[in-house]
Structure 1
Amino acid sequence: MPRMDGRKLIARLRAERPDLPVVVMTGFPPPDGAGALHGGKAPLRLLTKPIEIARLVAELRAVAGLN
């Protein structure tokens, strides 16, 4: 993203909605893993590209509470 990295985006979104579930898709995960991005109580999933569609759907369903 040209103006903001994922960590800043998650922080901004969660400042407005701390309960917002987040699914992050990245080609370059942070060395600390999902813990480096979490910053809240709502679910956060970190997926590393390439991602199979079935896994993406499963993770989206999980953070949405649909499993």
Structure 2
Amino acid sequence: MNILVLVVDDEPDVEALFRQQFRKDLRAQRFVMDFANSAADALSRIAATIEQSLILILSDINMPGMTGLEMLPKVKAMRPDVPVIMITAYGDPDTRRKAIEGGATGLLTKPIDFTLLREEIDTRLEKAS
């Protein structure tokens, strides 16, 4: 069974950054990371992963087209069991409130604290096993 973490961000360097940060985990096949560069792309990937063990979605908030906050209720309707953590450069209280009210499990601010994110992924891996 593939355990999947989906990262949604329109910035092209995000994939390289995440692959670098989690290279040991990916090489050890603890989980698989997939990347979507837009909310629309993410929604189609999520629809295609119904048979996979999707344990976590990490999504940027500010993206062209559909924002992460606009995507959030659609994701929760498709996969209510999957936690979604929103990522933003602006961790103001209003953004945090909107994310949590929309169904997000949490909010990470940029630059991302990868130690904290690793703990979150480890927690999700334990629950999935």
User: Counterparts of 1:10-29 in structure 2 under 5 Å?
Assistant: 10-29=72-91
From 97, 105, 108, the counterpart of 1:44 = 105
Deviation of 1:34 after TM superposition, in Å, equals 3.4
Moved over 2 A (4+): 29-35, 59-62
TM-score using structure 1 length: 0.69
CA RMSD in angstroms, aligned pairs only:
2.4
Query: For the Cα contact (< 8 Å) 2:89–2:111, is it kept in 1?
Result: yes
Structure 1 residue runs without a partner (length 5+)? none
Whole-Å Cα distance in 1 between the matches of residues 90 and 121 of structure 2?
A: 20
For residues 17-61 of structure 1, what are the alpha-carbon distances to aligned partners after superposition, in whole Å with 9 as ceiling and x for unaligned? 112201111102353353322334xx6110111122111212333
Specify which structure has the higher proportion of helix.
2
TM-score using structure 2 length: 0.41
Larger RCO, structure (CA 8 Å, separation 6 or more)? 1
The AA in structure 2 aligned to 1:8 is E
